[in-house]
Amino acid sequence: MRFTVEVVQAIKNFILLNISKYPNKITQITVDHFQISKPTVLKYLSELVVEGLIEKKVSNRYPNYRLFTEEIKLTYSNVDLEEDIIWTKDISKKIKGINPNVKDICHYGFTEMVNNVIDHSGSKDLKIRIKQNYNEVTMYIYDTGIGIFNKIKQDLGLSDPKHSILELAKGKFTSDPDNHTGEGIFFTSRIFDNFFIVSHLLTYIGMGNKDGWIFEDVEGDIQGTVVAMRINKKSTITIDRIFNEYSDPDKIPGFHKTVVPVELMQHEGEALLSRSQAKRLINRFDKFLEVVLDFKGVKQIGQAFADQIFRIFQRENPNVHLEAINTNESIKNMIQHIHNSV
């Protein structure tokens, strides 16, 4: 039985989209899905190997297939570097099979993160690694500088570098306000499917524009900073869609909205009870018109903590709209109790 070109391409696309999930079962899964013979599927698998899109490994007599991954590694001395020149000269043309909107996202994220290394890290060198296969591209930016969390701790006078992660999640933080807006990491972390920063013993993890952020200790002390950004080559997300959610050119400030994961305050099992904790949370909220407090993962807050945010801060900053989301019954009741006491 001969298939049309469209059907053959559909079968191959199915293989390419599912091979990472089922590396040693992809043959049978494709057979079952399309109700075609095993020899037919093996023929298309062989063609994909020849086309350089997948690789075949044999272990214990059973074939194991995986997407072929191309890797690019580049190293620069951090002297008179320009991020847009690096992108245009060394990166842009090497990222293949990518939708135009995704190319724009990669351009934005790459130049923002490389600029951070050039302007803020104090690193003597810059290392870049690009990994790509048929489905996705991942960009890694390495430096050996002070480390992003230590840098923010130093600039803001924080007592713990873990508090730096909260400031990154808020957005608008920059140690050089005359030349930077502090928007780069905030928006980059939301337009990629996955985004993470590792520095020393801390990790800042994002899952696109959803689910908030988490941090955790990592094994080993990673010197400097590593940033990784991954996105599906066929993603439909656009920079404008994310920018429009948090910014409005007709408002002052244009970047007027932020979403803050309150769970980041709970490191090491810390209960959210005190006014000092609340003051740390609301630091720089006055730079926004809308602040969404995401209480996902938070079970309880104290009266003093809630009072500092929902009564005192709100009274002193009436132009800032606070919204609490993902609150359980206990937190809802506490916030309502504060509102009733105003």
- In one-letter notation, the amino acid at residue 257 is K
Q: Write out the chain's pLDDT in tens, 342 residues.
A: 678 999 999 999 999 999 988 888 899 999 999 999 999 999 999 999 999 999 988 766 667 889 999 999 999 999 999 999 999 999 999 998 899 999 999 999 999 999 999 988 889 999 999 999 999 999 999 999 999 888 888 888 888 788 888 888 887 666 555 555 567 888 898 899 999 999 888 888 877 766 656 666 666 677 899 999 999 999 999 988 888 877 766 665 567 888 888 988 876 567 899 999 999 899 889 989 899 999 988 999 999 999 999 999 999 999 999 999 999 999 999 999 998 876
Greatest Cα pair distance in the chain: 77
Rounded CA separation 27/244 (Å): 43
**Do the Cβ atoms of 132 and 204 come closer than 8 Å?**
no
For residue 253, is the peptide bond before it cis, meaning its omega torsion is within 30 degrees of 0?
A: yes
Which structure tokens are listed for 308? 């500092």
Give the pLDDT of residue 335. Answer: 94
Give the pLDDT of residue 294. Answer: 92
What are the Cα distances from residue 138, in Å, to 85, 203, 335? 20, 17, 41
Rounded CA separation 291/24 (Å): 47
**Do the Cβ atoms of 272 and 303 come closer than 8 Å?**
no
Give the pLDDT of residue 326. Answer: 93
Beta-bridge partner residues of 74: 128
Give the pLDDT of residue 192. Answer: 94
Nearest CA to 87 out of 68, 62, 67, 113 is that of 113
| Residue 213 CA from chain centroid, whole number | 9
- Half-sphere CA count of 48, side-chain side, radius 13 A: 29
- In one-letter notation, the amino acid at residue 105 is I
Rounded CA separation 274/257 (Å): 25
Which structure tokens are listed for 39? 């020899």
Rounded CA separation 51/40 (Å): 17
Give the pLDDT of residue 226. Answer: 94
